[in-house]
Structure 1
């Protein structure tokens, strides 16, 4: 289904002036003046060498953000918890980082317009770097958790501002190809983070994993300081620092942070602490999130002169469709395969009884598909100048992969275990590339930075909610199935035995007697199938939200 809307990116006045030119209107005969009006000369003109240096500085930070935020720290949770003798609190190391990323990511879109691209990127690198370095010297688990939160304040900004700067440098039609190359580095960082973190921990200790990031951070900081001289419009460039900070929406930022933070913290506590939904902490956080959300809307609509998330923008057709498709797509993708403790990995270890190495090898085709899908989407947009049909095909591939995974069973051919997840990686990588370009092409230049921040907000929120929700569903169904199959009046030790299987590593399954081993495998298979069904629903919702996206010209 092709989009029926073909609204020009630059507005109706441009179309009317072209019509006047075609009709032979003498007042519009100066084609050079018309071209300069429609496509004004760029404020920034960088040489090829300078552009390469800028991309190197930005993408090295993106690579490090993926390495640090996705897999390295996840590998170190157990040794860190054992070192502090607080193993039960180790999950908060990752949770604090993700919550901080989700809360502060959307703020960088507006900050990049106020402080400039260089100022916003240096702020993000300073927060990310100082938090990461303090992790290496943290004297306690509480201090380490706080340091990870500080690192998250900058980690989300690194991704957002990098994307904004690349959009400033690269023509929109080629933007998807460069986004694909950035996604390759992101996938590479996420892919090697686990093995690298384990090797560093065994060789040098877990603190070295944070210290060794310092040279890359320093390189990125220096390059950004020297090379990222993006000029903003003169009305912003000539403002005093005081006037620039008056444009910061502090009240809107506070209410947005409270809205997102309370919502995600409620889901995280439900998953990590296994609290019931009726627990005062859980429903109290959800109520606080709802109240903060209402206040945020009031502030953005009636109070703030420079809103951090303009409601006029998020209610437009394409920005809303892009945001929601990224939200549901990220929920499905990150709970399926894009986090270390994903449901596919648990299927291989708990149901197929593969080793961790074997499970990792089965995820390798998916990692290759992510890089391939992103670059392919960029190449197609550069070649055709179109993105709508490609976006729909990408969303459909994610649905196809989810359906194939649902029907995995004991008799499933090994070849399916290798290739069935490939469409998910290829489709999702292509989807986030095309929808980002659709968002940029669907707004005016003045809103581009804020729109990019909104896209990353919905994406990161979907990531955390997807992991938390699928984890809560898995735990609830698994415990129910284990109790049904293993517990009984004939053996008094079985209730305790069920808790051991439920709370400990899946490695214990292979040590069980044949009857309990079969019961545990069946319970995990049933629970994971329910999760896979939920992921298919999320992918379907992402596809539905792709349909309203407009096809704007990529000049």
Structure 2
């Protein structure tokens, strides 16, 4: 796992400046297999002696035209769009779905089943993509997503619908990981920010318009088309990508002549089972805690304890396998986290995802409960924020691609997120429409630019052969952070509502029939009931209820403000060239070309 085979064609990538001149805060931590010998490779790449062998033997996929890159990126963005839509499209359709399938007990699983399946399989896709190739693995993921969408659309029971959502999640997790891997394969790192910014914009806009599309389809056609809509889009995308993509594999598997059975033996199935089991148990505990079961109940404590024990066993197994060549290759090598910059990128992603998802999830709820908006109305309120977030995600990606400076983007975004998370905590039931919309828009202006920037940071500190593993780990960290964000927000909200409904001063002012609906675990479901019965409730009582919800959300925002402290992990991130480890930067390439030209000019020629 040393520095061998890391030279690359000088025509493949260009960059900004010599790493020895531009890097500050260089990491001195142990880096194991991920960048073993990287410092020696950096030194080697500054050698300006012409090396025709290095030029003739580029590593990684061959370069492709910009037009083809753009077409592939557009199709991958379309794949991301349907995955992002599927996370939110059912939120406005759930009442109709529950009524049509005659089941109210399993509605919460319609969303949870998708998330659990998605997060559980994410780490495995990186190794599958390395061994069997990006194209084949992506085709399987899209096929699973199409199959799951068909099952959901044709569901005749809530159990069938939940099963379909699991299959969808198995495919959706693969799509969300593989689009980043494929972009990393075909686009030079110094250009990658622009393409990944486009993916981040697609995520933001797709998630925001999902409730609007779901509500429109449910109202005008049928809730089943929330799922059937995926079939033509995913089918078209799969066919086009099948024609355009090559089945690139990880560098260490490019010339692998082993049989399928021998390749399967190299897959870390034990690691896949351990991390999937631990993740499912953790997310179930966070989802059920305080709602289905009290936090102190035996089942929640058992799930949490077993989850962390399984994570411990998983990390130990991964470390053991990472040290030995003849064992299955780990799906998440601990050495990924041994580098300071990579660790900072993963931590920043984790806390950014928690804050992003917590506020994104509860803002529509706040618009409905505090300001009396319908589900569709709350989605419309959030559209400006979605387009600002998406637009700045794309804009920041272009900035990073043009300048190579990612740290200013991350610093400025972190400050904006912290400031306007604090401003969101000042919203109450008396806030005017301008504040309700503009504060969220400004917060989104901080969230958007750093959707994908941490992945660019991580890629500056890995070799090309580790793109898939580092990228799927990043996707897993982001998915885990989002799930935890929803759970943390839910716990804080429920606790605050429970504290208020237990206050004698409030109990005296509320009619008895409202006490149970406004209790901690029931308060979320009471929103629509309160809006529908608003005319039957006195102005004083309605104002008090709006205040209670507003007060609870204030503490959700306070919690998010505290979690914003995790964004200080940006301090761990050093200033590096925007290029892969072992690749030539712009200055090295220029020096190489000049040396080649000098060598040619010094050859004997015709006398003048």
- TM-score between the two structures when normalised by the length of structure 1: 0.90
Q: Name the counterpart of 2:451.
A: 432
2:537 aligned with 1:508: no
2:299 aligned with 1:281: yes
2:26 aligned with 1:5: yes
Bigger radius of gyration among the two: 2
The equivalences for 1:2-401 within 5 A come to 3-5=24-26, 11-17=38-44, 21=47, 30-33=49-52, 36=55, 40=58, 42-69=60-87, 71-232=88-249, 233=251, 235-239=253-257, 240-270=259-289, 272-273=291-292, 275-303=293-321, 304-337=327-360, 342-401=361-420
Please point out which of 528, 545, 554 is paired with 1:529.
Answer: 554
Residues 319 and 451, structure 1, Cα contact 8 Å, conserved in 2? no
Q: Name the counterpart of 2:593.
A: none
Residues 351 and 521, structure 1, Cα contact 8 Å, conserved in 2? yes
| Deviation of 1:54 (Å) | 2.4
Residues 333 and 424, structure 1, Cα contact 8 Å, conserved in 2? no
Inter-partner Cα distance in structure 2 for 1:423 and 1:502: 26
Inter-partner Cα distance in structure 1 for 2:497 and 2:510: 21
| Deviation of 1:42 (Å) | 5.0
SS in 2 for 1:547: helix
2:550 aligned with 1:550: no
Inter-partner Cα distance in structure 2 for 1:352 and 1:440: 44
| Deviation of 1:412 (Å) | 4.1
| Deviation of 1:457 (Å) | 0.6
CA distance 1:42–1:488, shift in 2 (3 Å): closer
| C-alpha RMSD of the superposition | 2.6
CA distance 1:371–1:547, shift in 2 (3 Å): same
| Deviation of 1:443 (Å) | 1.0
| Deviation of 1:305 (Å) | 3.5
| Deviation of 1:254 (Å) | 0.6
CA distance 1:217–1:355, shift in 2 (3 Å): closer
Residues 283 and 483, structure 2, Cα contact 8 Å, conserved in 1? yes
Compare 8-17 and 501-510 and name the one that shifted more: 8-17
1:28-79 alpha-carbon deviations (Å, 9 max, x no partner)? x633449739x9365323344543442343222111111112x212222111
| Deviation of 1:230 (Å) | 4.2
Any stretches of 5+ residues in structure 2 without a counterpart?
A: 1-22, 322-326, 580-608
SS in 2 for 1:87: coil
SS in 1 for 2:93: helix
CA distance 1:211–1:490, shift in 2 (3 Å): closer
| Deviation of 1:428 (Å) | 1.8
Any stretches of 5+ residues in structure 1 without a counterpart?
A: 22-28
CA distance 1:372–1:42, shift in 2 (3 Å): same
Inter-partner Cα distance in structure 2 for 1:497 and 1:142: 27
2:540 aligned with 1:520: no
Inter-partner Cα distance in structure 2 for 1:215 and 1:237: 36
Larger relative contact order (CA 8 Å, sep ≥ 6): 2
Inter-partner Cα distance in structure 1 for 2:278 and 2:107: 25
CA distance 1:357–1:492, shift in 2 (3 Å): closer
Compare 355-364 and 167-176 and name the one that shifted more: 355-364
Residues 231 and 237, structure 1, Cα contact 8 Å, conserved in 2? no
